[in-house]
Structure 1
Amino acid sequence: MSALPFHVRRVLIIIGIVVLVFMILEFNRRLEELNLLTEQAEIFRTEVTQAVRTQNALQTAVAYANSTAAVEEWARVDGHYIKDGDLPVVPVEAPGDPPIILATPIPTPTPMQNWEVWYTLFFGD
């Protein structure tokens, strides 16, 4: 290398520095891509964990729905069935009593403020 003129040495050093800078930039790009992929992998792992938990909960619900305890609970609560030996109780109104009528309250409209009126006029709902 000592036989080369001074200008050629300088050019080779500059080319070496430029190549080194490009290598550093490429390394930085790869590190950024690695960070992005790591974040995406973490999000994906979280979603997979949630999906597995949901699947386990649904499998548990299906197993319970196929059990006799679920059938009995439905029969007593929703189906209004009774077991042998149970005494059904049916509430009956006393004869001559007028039926109870529940009045539904009418909601009172809340007054709009000035700025809300103008906002509705200009931009709609």
Structure 2
Amino acid sequence: MKSWSSYLKQFAIAIGVVLLIILVMDYNIRLDELNRLNEKATIVRAQATQAIQTQVALQTQIAEATSDRVTEDNARNNGEIQEGDQRVVPIPATGVPPLEISVPTPVPTRVKKWQVWMELFFGE
């Protein structure tokens, strides 16, 4: 018959093994969580970089749109004038009809079927 101390020793070893298994499982769960969070952090960093690049691009567009040169060019294209400018409006000459130049439409040439196949297989 085994003594009371040998049962206690076996019981303590069994408890130790169970605790060790629980600790290893918890460690594994924590490692999985760490990997998941690292992947998510990488995605968030990429999104943040993209947002910063978009912000820089938009700030550049705002700076270009509000510059004096662009504003003046747009005003000139819209027909606005500056102080001191004299507006000139061209008036067509009376009595002389404008010349209309008609461009003849080119006549399509008929291509033979063998030429089409040659061009398809050997053409550049």
1:31 aligns with 2:31: yes
For residues 29 and 46 of structure 1, what CA distance do their matches in structure 2 show?
Answer: 26
Go from structure 1 to structure 2 and tell me whether the alpha carbon gap of 1:69 and 1:4 turns closer, same or farther (over 3 Å shift).
Answer: farther
- Amino-acid identity (%): 38
For residues 90 and 6 of structure 2, what CA distance do their matches in structure 1 show?
Answer: 111
Go from structure 1 to structure 2 and tell me whether the alpha carbon gap of 1:66 and 1:8 turns closer, same or farther (over 3 Å shift).
Answer: same
Q: Mind listing any 5+ residue stretches in structure 2 that lack a counterpart?
A: 92-96, 101-124
What's the CA shift string for 1:32-91, capped at 9, x where partnerless? Answer: 1111111111111111111111111111111111112211332344x2557969x8889x
Q: CA-atom RMSD, angstroms?
A: 3.3
Which residue number corresponds to residue 13 of structure 1? 13
Q: Mind listing any 5+ residue stretches in structure 1 that lack a counterpart?
A: 98-125
1:71 aligns with 2:94: no
> Contact 1:82–1:88 at 8 Å: present in 2 too?
no
Deviation at 1:23, TM superposition (A): 0.2
- AA aligned opposite 2:14: I
What is the correspondence of 1:44-55 to structure 2 with a 5 Å cutoff? 44-55=44-55
Deviation at 1:24, TM superposition (A): 0.3
TM normalised by structure 1 equals 0.58
Which residue number corresponds to residue 61 of structure 1? 61
Structure 1 or 2, whichever has the larger Rg, is 2
Across the two proteins, how many residue pairs are aligned to each other? 93
Match of 1:5, SS? helix
Moved over 6 A (4+): 87-90
For residues 66 and 99 of structure 2, what CA distance do their matches in structure 1 show?
Answer: 47
For residues 90 and 43 of structure 2, what CA distance do their matches in structure 1 show?
Answer: 55
